[in-house]
Amino acid sequence: SVSVMLFTSDLRVHDQPALAAAVRDATEVVPLFVRDPGIHRAGFDAPNRRAFLADCLASLDDGLRRRGGRLVVRSGDVVDTVCRVVTGTGARSVHIAAGVSGYAAGREEALAAALAALGCALRVHDGVITALPPGRVTPANRDHFAVFTPYFRRWAAAGVRPEVTAPRRITVPEVAGEALPARAEVAGVSPGLAVGGEEEGRRRVKSWLARAGSGVDAYEERHDDLAGDATSRLSPHLHFGTLSATELVRRARDRGGAGAEAFVRQLAWRDFHHQVLAARPDAARADYRTRGDRWRDDEKEITAWREGRTGCPIVDAGMRQLRHEGWMHNRARLLTASYLAKTLYADWRTGAAHFLQLLVDGDMANNQLNWQWVAGTGTDTRPNRILNPLAQARRFDADGSYVRRWVPELASVPGPAVHDPAPADRARLGYPAPLVDLGEARDRFSRARGLGD
């Protein structure tokens, strides 16, 4: 008998419930990845993610080969391609991880219908992509939590599923596939892009959890230190599923301590946003909560923001890190997003689209809902607060090292003075004057939200 394991955002062999079920279900398994033009049409295949994905597929193929199998890659519409593989191999079941986006839901529905017509079952597995499946904990009378703190209480009490051991042996039937895509073939990749793949992800987790006094142990004190760069950088691995979120929660809890607890709480934020998107797929585009905003749309300002030339050094540093690495520190994401959505009062969708174009961890749930959180149209319980980028800079980049690292024009300005260079120094160093006056921008935003000056 034959089953098909359709990989999506779960590109691993360890702690992989869908793959384990596909192997249990049949004597032969087709481990399948479909390069779906629908992803391209939706604009999700930005170069950084395509390059990282190529690493992930190569590593997944290695992992399967070590178990006697291999990865089968095909290009084409996902439903047609899966049906062709099912017809060609006589497969009786297709296994897939439950997705949370509108796109994933549509794919599951279309697959279920098309496979039913072929007498083949679609088996959708929970607990593959998030630590806790969306909908596993809910408030009374609602399908999802709209506030993080009560969600987190229930999430923490719920516990996670036990570990699923990786299959020891995988036998793949005769089936044609294409060459694996190569990272080197992708143009327009950020020069500092991280390496992808399950092996790299597992190596990172190991060192993240083992470094005594640094890594996860120091996470609580150091996670907001912009220059210290002391977060896990596991987000792209979680996005592509080269790491299991469940396994990470389990292992961090086993490690214990205040750092591990703070880290697990961030993993719960990931689940939180996924359960919001699963219940409200429209929140990928529409305001989760409407505030009557009439966003400004000043193309010149938005371009300066995208290019890291706003004249606000901490904002420019973040935007340039994003372009160079395809990744940005969380504190920098918060303050650059706040600068766009509240200081410039530009539509959060414009900022979210730019992030998605570059972020290697760019994710519908985390990106769109964090943007909404910052813009005050999402789940923040204080939607009208506005971050002062200068105060943020002085607090989270106290000696200015982060700015000097990413804004080389300002590398000669010592200490915290780099956060607000004098006009003469800006002109001399070729660094722009501030795009807006922060005080005036704050007043404009307050008026727009009906709060008065």
| Residues in touch with ligand FAD (CB under 6 A) | 223, 231-235, 238-239, 266-267, 269-270, 273, 330, 333-334, 337, 355, 359, 361-363, 366-367, 370-371, 374
Would you tell me the crossing angle of helices 258-279 and 245-255 to the nearest 10 degrees?
Answer: 160
254 or 453, CB closer to ligand FAD?
254
CA-CA distances (angstroms) from residue 284 to 201, 238, 241, 362, 383? 27, 19, 20, 12, 18
Whether 231 has a binding-site annotation, put simply, is: yes
Task: Report the relative pairing of strands 121-125 and 93-97 from DSSP bridges.
Answer: parallel
Would you tell me the crossing angle of helices 389-396 and 330-338 to the nearest 10 degrees?
Answer: 170
How many Å separate Cα 102 from the centre of its chain? Answer: 16
Whether 362 has a binding-site annotation, put simply, is: yes
Whether 234 has a binding-site annotation, put simply, is: yes
91 or 194, CB closer to ligand FAD?
194
93 or 368, CB closer to ligand FAD?
368
CA distance 375 to 319: 17
172 or 341, CB closer to ligand FAD?
341
Whether 232 has a binding-site annotation, put simply, is: yes
Q: How far is the CB of 437 from ligand FAD (least distance, A)?
A: 24
Q: How far is the CB of 54 from ligand FAD (least distance, A)?
A: 19
Whether the CB-CB separation of 383 and 389 falls below 8 Å is answered with: no
Residue 289 tokens, joined: 């909560």
Query: In the 8-state DSSP scheme, what is residue 184?
Result: G
Q: Which amino acid is at 426?
A: R
93 or 336, CB closer to ligand FAD?
336
Whether 89 has a binding-site annotation, put simply, is: no
Q: How far is the CB of 190 from ligand FAD (least distance, A)?
A: 15
Residue 108 tokens, joined: 């599951």
Unique residue bearing structure tokens 């299959």: 167
User: Radius of gyration of the chain from Cα atoms?
Assistant: 23
CA distance 422 to 433: 9
Whether 145 has a binding-site annotation, put simply, is: no
Task: Tell me which residue of 97, 95, 28 sits closest to 68, measured CA to CA.
Answer: 28
Whether 149 has a binding-site annotation, put simply, is: no
Whether 263 has a binding-site annotation, put simply, is: yes
Task: Tell me which residue of 288, 284, 282, 286 sits closest to 365, measured CA to CA.
Answer: 284
Q: How far is the CB of 292 from ligand FAD (least distance, A)?
A: 22
82 or 137, CB closer to ligand FAD?
137
Find the Cα–Cα–Cα–Cα dihedral 328, 330, 331, 337, rounded to 10°: 70
Task: Tell me which residue of 335, 334, 328 sits closest to 314, measured CA to CA.
Answer: 335
3 or 9, CB closer to ligand FAD?
9
58 or 374, CB closer to ligand FAD?
374
Question: Residues within the annotated binding site for FAD?
Answer: 219, 231-235, 263, 361-363
Binding residue ranges? 219, 231-235, 263, 361-363
